[in-house]
Each structure stands twice: as structure tokens, then as C-alpha cells.
Chains A and B, each alone.
Chain A
Amino acid sequence: MTGLREVGKRRPQAGIETRIRGGAIYTQDVTLPGMLYGAILRSPHSHARIASIDVTAAAALPGVQAIITAEDFKNRRYYHLGGTYSDRRPLAKDKVRFWGEEVAAVAATSLSIAERACALIAVEYDVLAPALTPQDALRPDAPEIHGKDNAVAGRNLAVRFSADYGDIAGAMAKAHFVLEDEFAHGIVAPCCMETNGTVARFNPDAGTLELWTATQAPYFIRKEVAHLVALDEHKVRVRSVEIGGGFGGKSKVCEQEALAAMLSIKARHPVKITLNRRDEFVSGKTDHAKRIRIRTAVAEDGRILNRNVSVQIDNGAYTAYAPTYVGASRQRTTCLYRIESAHYDCDLVYTNKVPGGQYRGMGAPQTIWAIESHMDDIAKRLNRDPLEYRISQANQPGDVTPLKWRISTCGLTDCLQNVGKMIRWDEKRNSPAPLRGVGVASMIHPSGGVIYQEGNFSNSRVELTGDGQIIVHTQTADTGTWQNTTLAQVAAETLGVNTSDVSVSHMDTDQAPDDLGSAASRVTFVTGNATLHAAEHLRAKILTGLSQQWNCGVEDILIENAVARHGTEPHRTADLTEIARLVGPLSADGFFTTPGERPDPKTGEGNYAATYVFGAQAAEVEVDRDTGRITVLRMAVAQDVGRALNPTAVEGQIYGGVLQGIGMALLEEMVFEEGRPVNASFLDYAVPRIGSAPKIDISLVETNDPLGPYGAKAGAEPTINATIAAIANAVFHATGIRFKTLPMSPDRVLAALEERDGKKPALKPWKRVYNAEVAAVRVMYPGVVFPALRKVGTKFARLPEKSKTPRILVPGSIAELLEFPSNKDTKSRIVAGGTDIFVGMKQGIYAPDQLLDVTRLPDLQGISLERESAPVLRIGAATSLDSVSRNELAARYFPALVSCINLIATAQIRRVATVAGDLCQEKRCWFFRSAFPCYKLGGSTCPCFAVLGDNRHHSINGAKRCAAPNPSDLAPLLSALNARVKVIGKTGIRYIPIEELYLWSGLTKLEKHELIEAIEIPIVPDTSSAFRKFGLRQGDFAEASVAVLAEWSDHRVRSIRIFAGAVSPLPMRAIAAEALLTGTRLEPSLVSAAAETIVEGSLPLHDNEYKVPLLINLTRQALLAASSHSA
């Protein structure tokens, strides 16, 4: 298609002018007169009966305007997929089924009042045993989560599906070999930067409801909310706002919309609910965990005779759209590559966990990871190059898949060849550098599939206003994908105007005709076609109008560059304003529905989509043998996009999709304990940061689909599909290790590398006296200790009181600070940077009555050289980390200090966090930080959750009743540097060596009325120092760190101090290693031997054994770094 003027061009993002200046209005920015704030009371149990709910005390709180419970919604449930799948109420009734489920909601004049009111709602629960994994839930004696009305396929089974495609027996008879494998992964979350939120305004006089809500699909919001609050759909209007990311997480109704609506109806005021980040993890729609078993029958020539796939999907506590997710998984497994026959079966299992929803790819990234890992193994067995083998099996135009998909345009072969070229496959594959590897994977994705019960249709409206503006009205929502830009380009191209002449108004259900929303890869294709039709109709209307005005035939008029011209009378022209004056205002609608066939309900067979998207990705990775970190050096991505309507937009989708795929592959996974997420924050749940972004080469393959608008197919969603697989195959190439669980995080990778190499460091646990006792208790933990403490002990837990607002006092001098009244009823805390305390108060681990802000105290600031007796570097306690890292004295005398600080947190945090704050920060154990009633938080009657729970971050050494490690990076370093703190108290000054500062992780020897004034580091000549740290992601807390100070004389180590952090509750001194190295020249062989001894006396837990080799390796690195300074 030639001569295109707008389509295919790099146009800037629609609306960028406002967005780039901070002027765009997102839901959290919507503020209406008289607006109230809503808060949600959530279930503190994974499974329980609700015996009673008493709102009296909450209602009496001044400022509370409305409280709602299940009763307010009568018996209505979300439609979701309807029928037996309709299993959820807006607020729990009778029973709660997951930790965090919505039980009641309050609207009040401020958020803090609403939150306090929630705390005053008295709910009595009868706790039930939960079923937390699909395996548990499928046991015959498993607790029943839903009754038979919803668990129609068996106990806790929402769906049980099984179908055969093609002649399986015939295929198996021809098999040269059969390969079988199993893959599994946990739950990831979309993590839109804008959390879910809604502002609802009920107008009591008109009986109408308006909703400003962060959604991808106004259509479904209106439908669900109207039904739940018993209004006619036409009385509900979804308004236009900006959306801060969707990725599927906002593709259907969430929970806060109906709650805000009902609160507004009851309070007769607008109500805003904004989920906080924690709630977003706890209750927002996540992806699903899956277990995927594959068995493939392969012919001698490599043909895939049969692919047999068995999948188990964790539904969570309620069914949102998971039956569709089952369909998506069936499609990928039966349609990627030329397959002769197939079998697919799947269980969708209820568990007492957060309900799964949709996330970019609908499970395809992990499904394809399983299939493509398997394909690599097949290629290996066949002794064929994985890229060449894939090309030989690639889908081709005209193919019909076992699921009866009829492939029309298909650029898979080109895509595979292109990524091979871009990544320099032959060279890298055949002669890889050590610990480097390349891998490749393909993907398939429907474009314009019949995914909804409604089918898959779009209406779009294009308007020429009276003043000559062109506006596209669409009910879809641009969540950041640039869909509004590409829709504008389609309209502009069709109308003969410039893209900049067209604006797009999205979402408004009163202004735009019905459309199913921005999900399931549908906007470019389906809404794009509807917009194309609408623009054609509008163009026809304009031409007709002009031909009447100009007395000519429509064929005599040409519109180009936003100017209409009379073909034979060139002086007759009209720009848009003039056109509007002559013939406007005008508007035209366009409709498009996908020609895909509804799949057979029993088997899923049928030509489901209008067309299909293909693509391939190749990855080059490097694996760090010392730490297990996988670095993606480069990705090559080729995608059959039909036509790139706007290359910048498609490339943006590829960059973004690939990075989300890298997150799934290497970093992300929700971790649960008792069904409750323990890593519900961006600190603990690692979304990729900027340092994870590899170089990406892109090839857009244009197959010009006959059904697509200007030839385009879906582009945004499937960019993620092949990423995990390509990386996993590259890792296999680099290491020979096939990972069968995700993510391939450093802890797992390092453990696997150690196992591969048969390494087993000598732990010599007897070297630590307490270990025998600790080991004995650990043996009894599962059967005796934990159940008793959990059941009985936690009843006596004394947890900090929540939602208290402390007074902030700002003393002008230390003397004034020490004078502040403090008694046993007033809990005071000193706050400096506050980066720990302000967060900890929200986590429920601190509840001070007053905060004493010491940042204004001059004595606590600054860095200076003091030479009273021996020279020391004095750092004021409240000096920010950033000030230290930029300080010349610090850089001159203690380069290790500067490099250590640069590894702490992020630029913004280092700017305010202080040196003493880093030393005194509270422990980071994720059970403690999630306010579990643990030993440290709840008191001595409570258990340590880390013994049986996920303890990958915990201590390998020195744990007793608490396994939390010391979180400070400065603690081991300053201990090694022999630094001390100067402490001021009412009774005077004292000094504590930092190595002796701690009683436990997060607990110092400071008394109540004491404060650290400064840190003093002795400056000793002829020393070298080094610091090494490993965190799982950029800016993360350490999993292990090692600091070394060596004092030299005559090229030999006169004395050496070695401390480790993050592996034990206190900074851990490596006495044996020090002894081995004293008097030596730190020769590499000695260093290695000494490093091995640092783990002696360790007693790792079940998930943190990787810290053993990690610590050894970091110690070796730090020692070698310190030795190179010796000259």
C-alpha cells in the first residue's frame, strides 16, 4: 500500500503536550465539590465464616457519612462470565474466601477518618481451614471454598476441560520419540503505576451515576456497576480520564467501582476510592499461577506429530475471566508451530488466595515458555540447531491448526530469520563466550478473536465539529498504549487530514457508541476498523455536502492535507474550518465485528480470530557464576504486525512488553504465607527497574493483513509472549541448566549452578554453640512448636496500634531534645530521614506518639576531619547518605564507603536517608513488615514465621527465635572500619564501637534517652578496604554483603577485619578467615580458602542455602579487591 501520508508514520503521542507538563487528569486527580473519601475493610483471614458485622461504633465517628456491607447490594453478584462463573459479591456475605477480601466500606470527610472507621467495624469471624494451593484444594477432604453452584466440575473445580484434536493414535504410532516435561510458575501482578481507583458521583435528583475510573473497558464497568447498584445502564455514565497503565489488570470491572458507587448513592455525595499500593497487590487482579505438563511425539524428521498438554490453573478465590484464560492457554499450546494432532486438558482450581484476573498475554508468556523450552529440548534430542529447527516447523500461510485456526497472513519464518540475524545467531550459538548464551522463541496470538460473550465488536464515531475540529469518539481507553494516536492516524489517513488535526475522546459512555474496550489485543484491529469505517462515512458525507455546495460530482473533490479541492476548478478550496462552515457539523459512526468464529463450546475448535499475529524473539544473556544473576545483554524482536500504523508506538510496546517479560523471567513472583501476600510492595516485589533494560533490536515484519485497518494486526499485548522463553533458552545455552520454575532469580540460579558443579561448602554447624538447640527446635517447628505458638501464642500478641497520628516535634538543640517529656505512656521515636519510620508506621510496625525530628540539629550534620588524638573522619549522624557519597574527604579516605553508599536504595532515598538511620533501621523480614503476629512484633508467645515460610532473605547464621538478618549495609562496613558511634544521653556521652552496637537485627544498645550524634571512623595509614554487596534487584537491600579492612606492613597483612551483612542478625565477623589471612599477602589461593571458612557455623533455612556460596563468593571478591590496593 503506497502513498500513505499518516499511517505508518512516526507521529508524536496524542495528548503528549498536556501529559508532559503534568496537566493530565488521572482518577486520583479528580476532585469534586463535596467529595468524600472511601476506605475498604478487608478480611484478615483467608477463609472464614462471617458470624456478625457491627458498624455502630464506626457510624458514630464524626465525619463518617456512609457505611456499606453486603446487605446494601441485596443478593446481586458480579456478572463476570455469567452463569456458574458468577460467584462473587461486591462485599463478602456469610463467608470470606481470601485474605484482603472486601467486607465493608466507609465514606467519610477524610481518608484517615474513613480508615479509622473501618478499624471500628466489629466483624466476628469463625475461621475455617483454607486451601491455599491447587494441590491442597483438589484433595478429597479439602475445605470447600464454593458450593456446587459454582464449583461445578467437582470440589473446588470451576472448570475441568479435556479435548483431543486430530488422529492422536495414528500420530503416536508414527512417533520416533516422545518427550515429556513439567513446568510451573507462581503469581505475577500487572503493577500499573496508577493503582486502581474510582470517583463516583450519584445525582439523587436525576437518579444518575457518573464514574471516573481507571479502567480499560468503560463498557463493562457500566454494565457491571449498573447491575450491582440496580440502576438502568443508561443512567450510568463512565467519564473520560487518563489511565496510568492497564496491561489487563484494568480490563474488566475491579472492585472499587461498585463500592464507590454504592457509597455515593448512600451518602449522596461524590466518593473517591484510591487503592494504595499494598491493597493493589492484596486485592487487585493478579495473573494466575499455572502448572503445565507437556508431552510431545516427534517424527524422525522432526515433525511434531502430537502435542499433549495438561494444565492446572490457580483460579484464586473467585472466578473473574479465568475460563477465557483457559481458552487462551489451549490456543497457544495447540496452535504454535505445525502440529499434526493435539490434546489439551485443564483444571481451573479454586484456592483461598487473591482472585486471578488478566495480565498482558493472558498466560501466554509462561505457556509459551513451557512449550518453547520443550521445543529446545526436542531440537537437542534431534541434534538440530534450535533456530533452524523452529524455522522448519514454523506456521505458514494457509495452514489449519489442530484447533481449526485458518492461518492467513503469517510472517513467522521471516521473524525467526530476522531475529537470528539481529542477534548474530550462528556466531554466538556456535562459539559462545563463557557463561554467555543465546536463545530463541516464537509466539502466536489471535487478532480480533471472539473473546467475549458479546462477540468482538466495535462502534466508533468520527465527528466534524462546527468549528472544524475532527474528533474520534471511542469507548475504548488509552491506558498508555498510544491507541488514541494510532486511531487518530487511521481517521486522518482516511479523511485526508493530518493526524494533528484529529483529537480522540476516549471512554465516555455518553459520547461514544458502544465498544468492548481496550483489552485482548483488540483496539488496533477491531476499533481501528470501526474507526476506518466511521471516517469513510464521514468523508462521504463531507464530499456529498461539498458537491452540493460546489455544484459538482463527489468524484471531482479531493481532500488532501486537510484541504478540500475542486478537481477542475482549483481556486475552489476549503480548509477544515471552511468545510465545517459549508457542510458541518457532521458525524458518522462506523461498526466492525470480527469475522472470527465462535469456538465450539466443547472443544474450543473453530477459526476463532480474524487473523493471527506471529513473532519471534532472541535473547543473549550472561550468567554471573558468583551470584547467580542473569543479565539480559541484548534482545532481538521481530513481530508480524501486519502494518506498523506508527513505528514509534509499536516499538514502545515492544520495549515495554519485553521488559515486563524480563520481570516475569527473572524477578517477579508474589509470595504468600497463610494465603496472605508478604511481598506486597515495590521493595519486596521486584518489577524491573531501569538497570534491567537491555538493548533491543527490532524488526517490524509487515504482512499487510487484508482484514486489518491499513493492513495492521494487533501489536501491543503479544510483545511479551516470547520473552521468557527466549531468555530461558539462552540460559540453557549458557549453563546447560533447564529451569522449570519461574522466576529464574539469582537465588535459584546460584543454587542450580552449585548443584551442577557438585559444590558443597563445609558448613561445620557445630562451630556455633547454639546451633544444636536451634536445629532441634527447627525439627519440632512444623509439628509442634509452630502450631502451638500460632494457635495459642498469637492470641497474646501485642501488636502496635494502627492508624495513630504521631506529633512531630522539631527540637532546636540536643539539650532541648533530651528535655522533651517522655514517660511510659508516650512513645517517642527519633526521626531523621524518615525513609524507614514513615513507611513502618503504615506497615503497622511502629506506632509512636511523637516523632522527634533531628534533621535541624547542626551537631548532627556534616563531615569533618578531627585530629584530637588519632585522626578520624567524623560524620554527623543525620548527614544524608548522598552528602557522604559526594564528599571529598570520604572519597579520599574511604572509597569503600562511597561505593557502599552508592549501592544503597535509590537516588531519592539517599538524598534524605541518613547515616545513623541506615545503622538503626528496623529489620526487613517480610513477615514482620507485613505485620504478622511474629515473635519480634507480637512478643515472646508468638512464633517466627520465617522458619517454615519463605525465608530466602533470612539469616543463614546466628538465627535464634528470630531469623531476620541485619539489613544495614553500613553496619558491616563501619564495623570492619573499626568505626564507633558517639552517643549522647541525659547522663553524658559514651562511645560504642559499631561492631558492638547491636542486640539484634534492627535493635541497638541505645537507651531510651540516647541519640547518636556522630559516627567516627579512624583514619589508619597503610590500609585498604573493600565492600561487596549483592541485592536481588537495583537499589535493593542486600542478600549478603562483605566488608574488609586490611592493614599492611611490608606488603603483608598486619591485621585484617572482615564483616558480613545480611546473613545473620548481627554484622558477622569472620574470625577464622581473619586468622588465616593475617601475615599473608592475600594471595588468591589463600583468599579462596579463607573465604570458604566464612560460612562455618552456618545453619541455613530451606530457601536460603544459596546465601552460602553467595557469601563465600562475595568474600573472595572483597578480599581480592582489598589485596589489589596493597601496592
Chain B
Amino acid sequence: MRIDFRINGIDQSIELSNDEMLVNVIRERLELRGTKIGCGNGECGACTVLVDGDAVCSCLIPAHRVAGRSITTIEGIAKENELSPVQAAFVRHGAVQCGFCTSGMIMSASALLAVNLKPTEADISHALAGNICRCTGYRQIIDAVLDASGQTPLGHEPS
């Protein structure tokens, strides 16, 4: 089956094997390896990408479903050389440790901020509950998302 779609602003056309999941297309076919696999079962969020702006687990989406859709991965979230506001806030707040969850976190946070300009801590918690981070304890992530939406972070000083 051949599908056409757009990813990070570039049109792609790919011949799919029958059972291919979106994460495989992204990582192996298009070699965009910033999208990670932490479980392969929709439980950890490391593979989160945006499909038409919605955050989804690319490990659970059969690739044929993205025909005609527009996908954004971590590689496409920065504008040219400039980090996106969420990325920049993650850097400022030290919200990254091992970085393995980071791509997925940033995609989920970006999807949230696209529909909710001033999320509360509860909104952030609801939106990011599908992204596990084992390193950071989430505090600096919460601060980064608050900061990225122009709100005062609750925790520590940014660097």
C-alpha cells in the first residue's frame, strides 16, 4: 500500500508493508530517530508525535492511517534554528535529564499549548499523564510548561 503524507512540512510518499506502525515509518524509513520507543504499547509516551496537531503514540498507529495527514515530530518542532518556546523553556529549567522521554514530552506539551494558552498545573498534569519520565520527577517539566505559556513557574530559578 502506498501512502502520501506530510511530515515536518515535507511531502512524503511511502510504500508500506502491511503491518507497519507509524513509529517504524518515522524511525526506520525516514530515519527521524528523535522519536523514541520506550514500550511499544502506548504506555509511556516516548513515541508521541503530532498527527494533524493531536498528540498520539506513534507506536500504536498503523501507518496507513496517516495517509493525507500532516505529522510533526521533534525534528520539526523548532522553527529553523530557533528552538520552539517549549524546547527553550525545557532548556532553561533543566527539564531534561537522560532525554529519552523529552521528545515525547515536548510533543505532548506543544499539543497542549496549542489549544490551551494558559494551562494550570492540573491541565498540564492531565495532558502529560501519558508521558512517563523516570529521571526528572516532573517538577522542572511542569515549570518549563508554565514558563513556555508565559506563566510564573512554581519551583526554582531557571539557569
Contact = CB atoms under 8 A, between A and B. Distances in A.
A254 interface: no
Interface string A212-247: 000000000000000000000000000000111111
Contacts of B131: 690
A277 B39 contact: yes
B45 interface: yes
Interface residues of B, number: 76
10 nearest A-B residue pairs (beta carbon):
A22-B34, A480-B98, A906-B130, A244-B100, A655-B137, A22-B74, A10-B159, A659-B137, A480-B97, A682-B43
A11 interface: yes
Interface in A168-184: none
A968 interface: no
Most buried by B among A242, A245, A479, A681: A245
A176 B60 CA distance: 63
Nearest to B44: A682
B154 interface: yes
B40 A907 contact: no
Interface string A671-684: 00000000001110
A22 B38 contact: no
B31 to A, nearest CB: 8
Nearest to B19: A805
Contact of A245 (B34, B98, B138): B98
A807 B134 CA distance: 36
B38 A655 contact: no
A1034 B45 CA distance: 14
A530 to B, nearest CB: 23
Interface stretch (A619-627, A834-842, A935-943, A948-956): A834-842
Contact of B100 (A12, A193, A651): A193
Given A277-B41, A902-B126, A19 B139 contact: no
A482 B21 CA distance: 34
Interface string B108-129: 1001000000000000111111
Contacts of A22: 32-35, 73-75, 102-103
B19 A808 contact: yes
Nearest to B78: A21
B73 A12 contact: no
A193 B140 contact: no
Contacts, number: 238
B46 A695 contact: no
25 contacts: A11-B159, A16-B91, A20-B99, A22-B74, A24-B99, A26-B36, A193-B38, A244-B36, A245-B97, A245-B100, A246-B98, A647-B156, A649-B94, A656-B97, A660-B134, A687-B134, A693-B138, A807-B18, A808-B18, A835-B60, A853-B65, A907-B111, A908-B56, A909-B60, A912-B57
Contacts of B106: 20
Most buried by B among A20, A245, A687: A20
A492 to B, nearest CB: 15
Contacts of B132: 193, 682, 687, 689
Interface string A240-272: 001111110000000000000000000000000
B30 interface: no
Given A22-B33, A22-B75, A683-B43, A655 B138 contact: yes
Interface in A686-730: 687, 689-691, 693, 695-696, 698
Nearest to B133: A193
A191 B139 CA distance: 19
Interface string A4-25: 0000001111001001111111
Contacts of B38: 193-195, 244, 277
A755 to B, nearest CB: 32
Contacts of B43: 277, 681-683
B36 A28 contact: yes
Contacts of B158: 10
Given A19-B99, A648-B156, A276 B138 contact: no
Contact of B74 (A21, A243, A660): A21
Contacts of B154: 695
Nearest to A242: B99
B129 A1035 contact: yes
B35 A12 contact: no
